[in-house]
Structure formats: C-alpha cells, structure tokens
Amino acid sequence: MIRAIAWREWRGLFLSPLAFIILGVTQIILARLFLGHVNLFLMIQGRLATLPNAPGLTSLVAAPVLGNTGVLLMLITPLATMRLIAEERHNRTLTLLYSSPASLTEIVLGKYLGILGFYAVIILMSLAMPLSLLIGGGLDWGALACGLLGLMLFAASLGAIGLFMSTLTRYPAVAAMGTFGVVFFLWIVDYAGHGRGAGGALVGYLSIVNHYEPFLRGLFDTSNVAYYVVLAATCLVMSVRRLEADRLGVR
Amino acid sequence: MSHSEVLVETDVVTRFYGRHAAVSDMSFMIRRGEVLGFLGPNGAGKTTTMQMLSGNLAPSSGRILIAGHDMQEAPEQAKAHLGYLPEYPPLYREFTVDEYLDYAAALRRIPRASRRAARERAKARCGLHEVGGRLTANLSKGFQQRVGLAQAIIHDPDVVILDEPTVGLDPIQIREVRALIRELGSEHAVILSTHILPEVQASCDRVQIIHKGRLVLNEDINTLMAHMESQALIAAFRAAPDLGALGRLPQVHAVTTQEDGRVRILHEPGADPTDAIVGLALEKGWGLREINPEHSTLESIFVELTGESPEAS
C-alpha cells in the first residue's frame, strides 16, 4: 500500500515537467559551483603540498559540493513538496485515498517515501560530480560517506517539513510559501543570537544547517542525527494528525 | 430478497458543520441486491451522507457499518468492502486510464498477479477498452465519469456508492450506466444519489428522499408507485355542478373547485367512482365535458414532502 502510493507520487512527479526542470537547473548550478571548487583547489594545491596534514580533495571539493546540494535542496523543497497533499485536495483525488482501505499513516508514509525517492535522484546526480574526481585523484571514502549521510538526513527532514505544510492547504502555492518560510526561518534562526548564553545556544541548536556542517567535516555525532530524525518524525506525526482533522471536517 | 444480508447500516448519524446540521439522525439500512436511490434537492445533505458512508468524513455522532465493520473502529476493513464514485471523479490527470486503474487496484489491495485481470474486467464493464492508453485528462466528461465508475468497481466491492453517476453523460451513456447500475444491483448493494427523478424510477428498488438533512421518505419503489396511482379525478362541467351531491357519492372523500373552474374529486385509493359521476352528471344535466384521473408523479410526492420543486432549487 505504502509502496503503491510512493510509486504513484514519484512517477507523477516525473510525468510533469517540474521534476526535470528541477533536476536540470540543480545540475547546472552545481556544475558551476563544482568547477569553482576544483579551480580553487588547483590554485592552492602547490601551497597545500608543503603543509603537514593539509586538507585534501574530499574536504576542499567533495564536501563543499555536498554542502551546496544541501542549500539547493532548501530552495527546491518548497517546489518539490508543495503538491504532495495540497494538489490532491485541490483536484479532489484525495477522495480516492480516503475511500481506499489505507490508513492515514500509510498515506503519509507513502507520500513521504515518494518525495524522498525524488530527493534520492537529486542526491545521486549531485554525487556524480565529486565521484568524477576519481579520474585524476583519490577520495576519502569515510568522510564522503559521512557527508552523504548528513545530506540524506538533511533532505529527509526538509521533505517532512514540506509534506506537513502541504497537508495544511488546498493550494500548492500556499504550501510552497509556507515551506519556504519554515525552512528559511530554521536556516537563519541563529543569525542574531550566536552563542550568547543559554538562549543563544538553544537558538543555535534549532538551526537546521548547524547540524549539517559537522557531517561535512567528517564528524559523525548522534545528537545531530537525532535532531533530523526528531524533526522529520514530528512533521510526519503532525501530517497524520492534520489528515485526521480533515476527515473530522475541521477546516 | 428481504432476507439477504444487511451490507450498510447507519444508526442515527448526525453531521454538523459548525452549528449547522448538514445531516441529522439518519438511520437506514441496505441489503445485498438492492439499489437505493438517494433523492433530494441540492444542498439537502446527499453528498455529506455519501462522504460519510465512504469514510471521507467522520460523522459528528452515530455509527456507520459497512458489511458489519464499523467505519470509525475498523475503517480499513469497512473500506475494503466499498467502492465510491464521488461527485467529481478522482482522476490523476497525468496518468493513462490503464495506469490509473492499476493504481486504484493496488490501493484496494488487489494482489499484483490479479490486478491486470481486475482492470480488464472493470474496463469491459464500463466500456473503456478503446481508451486504455489515453490520458485521463484528455477524455471527454462522459469517459471520465466511466473511468471513475471503473475505479469504484475494480475490486468487486459489496457496496458501491455513486454520487450523481449520470451527470454530464449523453442519453446513450446514461442508458448504459443505468444498465450497469442494475447489473451491479443484482449482486451488490448500490447507493446512488441524484436529483433526477426519472433516474430513480429507472434504476432503483428503494427510494429515500432527504430534505434539509433529514430523511423524509424511505419507501420501496413498488409501494411508492402504488402511492402514485390516482386518488383523484379532475372533471369539467358546462353548468356549475352541485358539489354537495358529488360529495355524497359513495367512495368520494372530498370535492373542491380548482382555480381553472375544474372540479377535483378526491376518492378512496383503489376505487373508481367515474361511472357514478358520469351518471349523476347526465341525470342532473351538468354537461360533463371531461373527466381524467389526476396523475400523481414522483415529482408531486417530492414537492409535497419538501415543499419545493426539485429543478428550481
């Protein structure tokens, strides 16, 4: 059941031009940034050779590419997730799901896995660039895997935020704006209060990017994993609750 | 037929929107092999009832049982016995008919191996074999409606709920859909909502009229037809008749003069005092010009019960 819903979601995305435009634009921007990172690496390569324990190709090119992908995902998420529930509600196709023997949890998880499938395609395509470095150099596989795990967790929490915002409305554009607001707020939340007392630490902890950066440095910390897991789970539970309220007719 | 199993049962179901009761204290049941027509003016609560029966909307109070499963307690079991065609067919515009029906089959938990057969059977029943590869968005309204119907019966459910199934169809398609409804009605329980009266006469075994959220009539179609048999005669005379003399005739209940000068003679159901009236008119020399049974229709019953014409609302 979950698989059928997820498959329809994923396929529905690729039947519209939106998915291809998102993938194309992402790839062009990432390619430009990737060239920039490679260029910088080539420029300082000579000096790096003289340093002991110098940063290598992975931390100077691969990690920044993953970081850029994360930023792009924050911008893509509103567009990619806006239709999940809102459009079904608008086109009245949600009725089909509601009158089928599927629980609300199955519906939400199906939708969620569908959008994660799309993110998986974005991540795999972005990964192709760092992997192309293997032609002329070597990569630190451990650090790369750690960064990749971070990116996947980051994407998983973004998708859940977008899904929840999409359950709130019948207009995809409203869902997109809401998701943009939440994601952007979580991005810049520690902008003013960097490290001032306990409050500053809390605000810093809320920031969605602060938990991603350690992964890129090759630092695996379960508290960062927990942040994303809790964020995603909260959004999914709230989505189920929201659909329940829908059935009860609370509008 | 009256001893077959009860497939749908609602028990004092009420639904509020804010403080407005869209449906109140609705209780009825439907057995296998019955086609129930749900009739009412727009805004009477038909769609709300359909949404509750199909699990799209929870009732504010009361209980709904589908094939013995409580819609609130065990929604998945209840919905497994249910096919629902809402007012607007829930089509994914970017999917072809085949893809769409395969998805609907998967949602209804039809095992992968038998999905293809289920899809082909549903297509054959709804006359869709030629459009399998076309996008649902590009189909005409009539075909979209039929795809919606195919979706509702693909898993051969015990209960089929159809919200205004013939809207937007041409007369030939309407006839086909009505035939399909009759066919479904022979093995399943079918609930069909409509505001078109002949549709009920054409395809239902039982009629429920709903008005302002309440059931105002729940009647077997044959009983209703019997009701609709004439209980009054309309007569016109050249000279003014003696209404008292007419009223004293046996089997006559009441006599009134209508606005157009004709006389309406209300008589006992099943009796026919025509001969007596003709004899009396001849004897008194009133000059009888015409005498006709008054035709009572579903329309007039509807108007009588709801106080408004179905088309005007």
Q: Give the tens place of pLDDT for each residue, B196-236.
A: 777 887 888 898 888 888 888 888 887 777 766 667 888 88
Write out chain A residues lying below 8 Å of B104, CB-based: 96, 100
Query: With an 8 Å Cβ cutoff, are B106 and A4 in contact?
Result: yes
First vs last Cα of chain A: how many Å apart? Answer: 27
Of the candidates A100, A75, A70, A95, the one whose C-alpha atom is nearest the C-alpha of residue A85 is: A95
Model confidence at B297, in pLDDT bands (50, 70, 90)? low
For residue B2, what pLDDT is reported?
47
The pLDDT assigned to A138 comes to: 82
B6: left (phi over 0), alpha (psi -120 to 50) or beta: beta
Candidates A8, A12, A99; nearest CB to B56: A99
Out of A1, A92, A249, name the one closest to residue B90 (CB).
A92
> A196-207, pLDDT tens digit by residue?
677 777 777 888
Residue type, A244: E
Q: Is the pLDDT of residue A157 over 90?
A: yes
Question: What residues of A are in contact with residue B59 (Cβ under 8 Å)?
Answer: none
**B258 vs A179, higher pLDDT:** A179
Out of A115-119, B37-41, B55-59, B69-73, least confident range:
B37-41
Contact A102 B54 (CB under 8 A): no
CA distance linking residue A55 with residue A43, whole number of Å: 14
Q: How many residues does chain A have?
A: 251
Is domain B230-295 annotated with CATH 3.30.70.100?
Answer: yes
Q: How far apart are CA A95 and CA A81, in angstroms?
A: 20
List, as ranges, residues 140-159 from B with C-beta within 8 Å of A: 151
With CA atoms as reference, the chain B residue closest to A15 would be B94
Amino acid B141 reads K
CA distance A21 to A38: 26
Q: List, edge to edge, every strand of the sheet that includes B252-257.
A: B252-257, B263-267, B232-237, B288-293
Distances (CA, A) of A215 to A86, A158, A171, A234, B211: 33, 16, 35, 22, 64
Judge whether B106 is closer than 8 Å to chain A, CB to CB: yes
Residues B210-242: b if buried by 16+ CB within 10 A, e if exposed? bbbbebbbeeebeebeeebeebbbbbbbeeebe
Q: Please give the pLDDT value at position A120.
A: 96
- In chain A, which residues have their Cβ closer than 8 Å to the Cβ of B108? 100-101
What does pTM read for this prediction? 0.85
Rounded to an integer, what distance in angstroms lies between the CA atom of residue A89 and that of residue A21? 24
The residue of chain A with its CA nearest to that of B22 is A249
Contacts of B54 in chain A (CB under 8 A): 95, 98-99
What percentage of residues in chain B have a pLDDT greater than 90? 35
Residue A194 has pLDDT above 70, yes or no: no
List the strands of the sheet with B214-220, edge to edge.
B82-85, B159-163, B189-194, B35-39, B206-211, B214-220
pLDDT > 70? residue B298: no
B23 alpha-carbon distance from chain centroid: 17
Q: Is the pLDDT of residue A251 over 60?
A: no
> Which residues partner with B267 through β-bridges?
B252
Is the pLDDT score of A97 beyond 70?
Answer: yes
So what's the pLDDT on residue B250? 82
List the single residue in B with minimal CA-CA distance to A2: B107
Considering chain B, what is the average pLDDT of its residues?
A: 86
The vertex-A158 CA angle with A154 and A161, nearest 5°, equals 145
Q: Do A248 and B103 touch (CB under 8 A)?
A: no
Instruction: Please say whether the beta carbons of B225 and B292 come within 8 A.
Output: no
Give the number of other Cβ atoms within 10 Å of residue A250's Cβ. Answer: 8
Q: Which of B107, B108, B145, B156 is the best mutation test for A, with the most CBs of A within 10 A?
A: B107
Predicted confidence (pLDDT) at residue A193 exceeds the cutoff of 50: yes
Mean pLDDT of B68-97: 92
Here the tokens at position B286 are 């009133």
The closest of B264, B256, B260, B263 to B286, measured between CA atoms, is B263
Query: A54: pLDDT confidence band, cut at 50, 70 and 90?
Result: confident
Q: Is B92 within 8 Å of A94 when comparing Cβ atoms?
A: no
> Which residues of chain B have a CB within 8 Å of the CB of A8?
92, 103
Q: What percent of chain A has pLDDT over 90?
A: 73
Nearest CA to CA, how far is A177 from chain B (Å)?
24
Mutation for A interface: B15, B57, B71, B92, most A CBs within 10 A:
B92
Q: Do B94 and A101 touch (CB under 8 A)?
A: no
Per-residue pLDDT, B240: 82
Check residue B97 and give its pLDDT. Answer: 96
Contact B107 A5 (CB under 8 A): yes
Q: According to the model, what pLDDT value does residue B283 have?
A: 86
Nearest-angstrom CA–CA distance, A169 and A166: 6
* B311: pLDDT strictly greater than 70: no
Nearest to A248 among B54, B58, B79 (CB): B58
Taking CA atoms, B91 is separated from A140, A168, B67, in Å, by 49, 22, 27
Q: Report CB contact under 8 Å: A96, B104.
A: yes
Tokens linked to B293: 């049974």
Distance of alpha carbon B72 from alpha carbon B157, whole angstroms: 19
Q: Report how far residue B176's alpha carbon sits from residue B185's, in angstroms, rounded to the nearest whole number.
A: 14
Give the pLDDT confidence score for residue B39 in this predicted structure: 85
What gap in Å lies between CA A119 and CA B312, rounded to an integer? 53
Among A142-151, B184-193, B303-312, which is the least confidently predicted range?
B303-312
Residue B168 has pLDDT above 80, yes or no: no
Note the pLDDT of residue A70.
Answer: 95
- The answer to whether B56 and A98 are in contact (CB under 8 A) is yes
Q: What pLDDT is attached to residue A179? A: 97
Domain-wise residue ranges, chain B: 6-226, 230-295
Confidence of residue A2 (pLDDT cuts 50, 70, 90): very high
* Cβ neighbours around B275 below 10 Å, total: 8
Which of B75, B90, B103 has its CB closest to that of A4?
B103
Are B79 and A5 a contacting pair at CB < 8 A? no
Asked if the Cβ–Cβ distance from B95 to A12 is below 8 Å, we say yes
**CB contact B77 to A (< 8 Å):** yes
Give the residue ranges of DSSP H helices in B94-170.
97-107, 112-125, 141-153
- B17 vs A: CB within 8 A: yes
- How buried is A74 (Cβ within 10 angstroms: 0-12 exposed, 13-18 middle, 19+ buried)? buried
Distance from CA of B260 to the nearest CA of A (A): 51
Which CATH class for the B6-226 domain? alpha beta
Q: Which residues of A touch B91 (CB under 8 A)?
A: 91, 93
Dist CA A238 CA A241 (whole Å): 5
Write the residue in A95, A103, A248 that is nearest to B90 by C-beta.
Answer: A95
Using the predicted structure, report yes or no on whether residue A214 has a pLDDT greater than 50: yes
Q: How far is B151 from chain A (nearest CA, A)?
A: 9
Average of per-residue pLDDT across B72-86 = 92
